[in-house]
Structures are given as C-alpha cells and as structure tokens.
Amino acid sequence: MLTRMTVATRRRETLEEITERVVEVVRASGVRDGVCHVILPHTTAGITVNEAADPAVAADALNYLAELVPREGMWLHAEGNSDAHIKAALVGHSAAIAIENGELVLGTWQGIFVAEFDGPRARTVLVKVMAG
C-alpha cells in the first residue's frame, strides 16, 4: 500500500514532525509485521528519524547544518538554494522503520520528521507499508 500525504512546512529551514500521520497509515494498512518506508521525493528536503521529545534537538541539528553548509557560499547553482540541495543530500530522502505487532518500532524518544531546507512549501511524503 502506498499513501501520499502533503506536509506544509512553515519556515525556510525546519523539522516538521510527521510521526502520528505515519502511525495512522501503518494502522490503517492492517500490516502486523513488516517495514514502513517513508520517502520524500524532493531535492531540497529530506526525511530523518530523531528525538521528538525536546525541540532543542531539532534546533541544534538545523544550527549545525547551517554552520556546515552556509546559505551564502561560492555555489555554482543559480537558484539561490544550493545549500538546501546539499543539506538534503546529507540528511537523505527516506527512512525504513520496522513494523511489529502493527506498530512502528521506534525508540522511546524517536519521531519521524520532514527536514525542510528551502521552504516554506507543500511537500509530498510517500509512505509504503510492506508486510514481511
């Protein structure tokens, strides 16, 4: 089963938590054991699994990426968002999460996030639930 969802990001750079929306897709699928693939088909945003309990973790991650890949640089890409492309490449565009007994297997503090680097935008997220 493949489900498409739209996630509206609110800032140029942000981590938008989508854990509960993915949980709903998994539960609706009826799959008891398998894998949930979360895919973001964009080049200036990504998917990450990280701590969801303390928003300071997301802020720290974004701050570090901003230091590592500054917005202003000697970029060849002419659209003004080269940093977003590089940050998205570093974060990655997907996550695979095990499903056991109908539930996502995430750690106590883990959540699933859209990592936006060129927003605000409406992002498409694909959720593929596979029995296994």
Chain segment 99-114, per-residue pLDDT in tens: 999 999 999 999 999 9
What pLDDT is attached to residue 119? 98
Residues with Cβ within 8 Å of 25's Cβ and at least 6 positions away in sequence, in order, are: 1, 3, 5, 36, 127, 129
pLDDT at 82 over 90: yes
The pLDDT of 6-27, averaged and rounded, is 98
What pLDDT is attached to residue 42? 98
Set out the domains of the chain in order of their start, with CATH numbers: 2-131 (2.60.120.460)
Binning pLDDT at 50, 70 and 90, where does residue 90 land? very high
Strands (E), 9-132: 14-17, 34-39, 45-51, 94-100, 103-104, 110-116, 122-131
